[in-house]
Amino acid sequence: MSTEVESAQKAPTPEVLAEVEREHEEELVTAGDNLEALNRMRSQFFGPKGRITSLLRSVGQLPAEQRREAGARTNQLKQTLEAKLVVRINALESVEKEKELRRSRLDLTLPGRLAHPRGALHPVNRVIEEMVDILTRMGFELATGPEVELDWYNFEALNFPKDHPARDMQDTFFIASPDGKGTLEHVLRTHTSPVQTRELERRGAPLRIIAPGRVYRCDSDATHSPMFHQIEGLWVDEGVSMAHLKGVLTSFINALFGERGVRFRPSFFPFVEPGVEVDVGCVFCGGTGCRVCKHTGWMEILGAGMVHPKVLENCKVDPERYTGFAFGLGIDRVAMQRWGIDDLAHLFRSDVRFLSQL
Ligand code: DAH
pLDDT in tens, 42-62: 999 999 999 999 998 888 888
Long-range contacts, 112-120 (Cβ 8 Å, 24+):
117/356, 120/355, 120/356, 120/358
Instruction: With cut-offs at 50, 70 and 90, classify the pLDDT of residue 163.
Output: confident
Q: Which of 168, 269, 276 gets mutated to test ligand 1 (max ligand atoms within 8 A of its CB)?
A: 269
Q: Residue 214: in which H helix or E strand, if any?
A: strand 207-216
What whole-number distance in Å separates Cα of residue 136 and Cα of residue 129? 10
Q: What value does the mean pLDDT take over residues 325-348? A: 91
Number of Cβ within 10 Å of residue 190's Cβ equals 22
What integer is the mean pLDDT of 27-45? 91
Q: Is 283 in the pocket of ligand 1 (CB under 6 A)?
A: no
pLDDT interval class at 220 (50, 70, 90): confident
* Residue 267, strand partner residues: 275
CATH class of 123-355: alpha beta
- Could you tell me the pLDDT band of residue 324, with boundaries at 50, 70 and 90? very high
**Atom 5 of ligand 1: nearest residue by CA position:** 328
- Distance in angstroms (rounded) separating the CA atoms of residues 75 and 82: 10
Residue 300, SS3? strand
CB atoms within 10 A of CB 255: 16
Q: How confident is the model at residue 9 (pLDDT cuts 50, 70, 90)?
A: low
Which residue minimizes the CA distance to atom 2 of ligand 1? Answer: 328
Of 67 and 223, the structure prediction assigns the larger pLDDT to 67
pLDDT score of 87 more than 80: yes
Helices (H), 141-219: 151-154, 194-203
Please tell me the predicted confidence (pLDDT) of residue 1.
42
Q: Is 330 in the pocket of ligand 1 (CB under 6 A)?
A: no
Helix 14-31 vs helix 35-46: crossing angle, to nearest 10 = 160
Which pLDDT belongs to residue 8? 44
- Say whether pLDDT at 349 is over 50: yes
Ligand 1 contacts CB of residue 58 (under 6 A): no
Q: Tens of pLDDT along 97-140?
A: 988 888 887 788 888 777 777 778 899 999 999 999 999 999 99
For the chain, give the mean pLDDT.
Answer: 90
Q: Is the CB of 170 under 6 A from ligand 1?
A: no
Half-sphere exposure of 65 (CA within 13 A, CB side): 0
Backbone angles phi, psi at 119, to 5 degrees: -85, 180
Write the residue with the smallest CA distance to atom 12 of ligand 1.
327
Sequence spans of domains, the chain:
3-103, 123-355
What gap in Å lies between CA 215 and CA 348, rounded to an integer?
Answer: 14
> How far, in Å, is the centroid of ligand 1 from the Cα of 193?
6
Q: Which helix (H) or strand (E) holds 227?
A: strand 227-237
* pLDDT the model gives residue 147: 97
Least confidently predicted of 5-19, 74-88, 292-306, 339-353: 5-19
7-11, 54-58, 276-280, 285-289: range with lowest mean pLDDT: 7-11
The atom of ligand 1 lying closest to the CA of 232 is 12
Distance, in Å, from the CA atom of 223 to the CA atom of 21, rounded to the nearest integer, reads 93
Q: What is the mean pLDDT of residues 185-207?
A: 96
